[in-house]
Amino acid sequence: MGWFWGSSKTDDPVKKLDPGLREYLEHEAPQKYVPAESTPAVEPQTQPSNSLPADQNDSSTPAVSSKSLFPDGRYADLWKTYKPPVEDIQVIGSREHNLTAAAGVQQMNDRRKQRRDTIGSAASENCAVEREDAYRCFEKGTFWERMKARTLMGHEENKTFNRCYATQAKFLQALGYAASPEWDDEREERIQMHADKLYHQMLDYEKRVDEAQAAGQEAPPLTSLFNPGAETVKHTEKGTTSVEIPGGQAPPQGFHPLKPWDQLTPHERELEIRGHYAELESERAFVEATAPYVQAQDEARAKRREKAVSWFGETVGKWIT
């Protein structure tokens, strides 16, 4: 029952092992790690003149590398041929550079999307009255006017709001609203107010034209909203009648609006051209801003391709990159 009260010191299970097995286990047991700074200094011993130093006498023991994590000499044969992973560091750096370039391009795309959303919000603010009329089209007017609005589901009011929203957005775009990388509240507010002013000037001219036609009179002279002193140009496309475009700018080659030119009012034609040129300028600024990021991506891709070609050959290397 000695096991119940604890084994004695003489009951060492190792002593019961086979002598050969015990010798093998003692030989294979890992050496205890001793830090370099805590290693006690060994006093030099005098050697006979006809004997060699210990490190030269035992040539089978490899020297400890300075990069080894085991100063006691363990795995010295492996640390002797160790090389730092310079190539892996370069690959990681290339990947980080590539991720930075991709983040820059994504940032510019987000900025473009944000500008479209900002223009939409400003256009909606400029059309607040039209939006309110479309929302409350069933509540205004006489009984028969309310019944008509219910029957047509506020078609006229919604049509007026949709035109206001789309046209105001084009005016804002043509005037460069939110186009600058640095936001200036005062400048953007002036542009927003000017866009609303030009829109109502356009509506006022269309109203005067309708009144002149109803009275059998000549239409008022056509002037540009953006450049009142510019001359009106004539534009004719194949299969269509000649139309007038104020502002002194003819449509660029190959440009066609969503609606045919003859279905647009004169000021809508001018606005289409102005908006087109403003969009081209915005695209040019976007390309210039993203050029460094795109170039960085191309350089990183070229390096990856060169490395892949050296590893797998030209066909596979180009395919995987």
Angle between helices 143-152 and 155-174 (to 10 degrees): 70
**Is 90 a residue whose pLDDT tops 60?**
no
With a CB cutoff of 8 Å and minimum separation 6, the contacts of 83 are none
Angle between helices 128-135 and 155-174 (to 10 degrees): 160
* pLDDT tens, residue by residue, 133-180: 888 776 666 767 667 666 766 788 889 999 999 999 999 999 999 888
Percent of the chain at pLDDT exceeding 90: 29
Every domain of the chain and the residues it spans: 89-124+168-215+263-305
DSSP 154: S
Instruction: Report CA Rg, the chain.
Output: 42
**3-class SS at 35?**
coil
User: What angle is formed at CA 36 by the lines to CA 34 and CA 37, rounded to 5 degrees?
Assistant: 110
* pLDDT tens, residue by residue, 22-66: 666 666 565 555 555 544 444 444 444 444 444 444 445 556 666
* pLDDT tens, residue by residue, 225-283: 999 989 898 888 776 778 899 998 888 888 888 888 989 999 999 999 999 999 888 88
Longest dimension (CA), the chain: 133
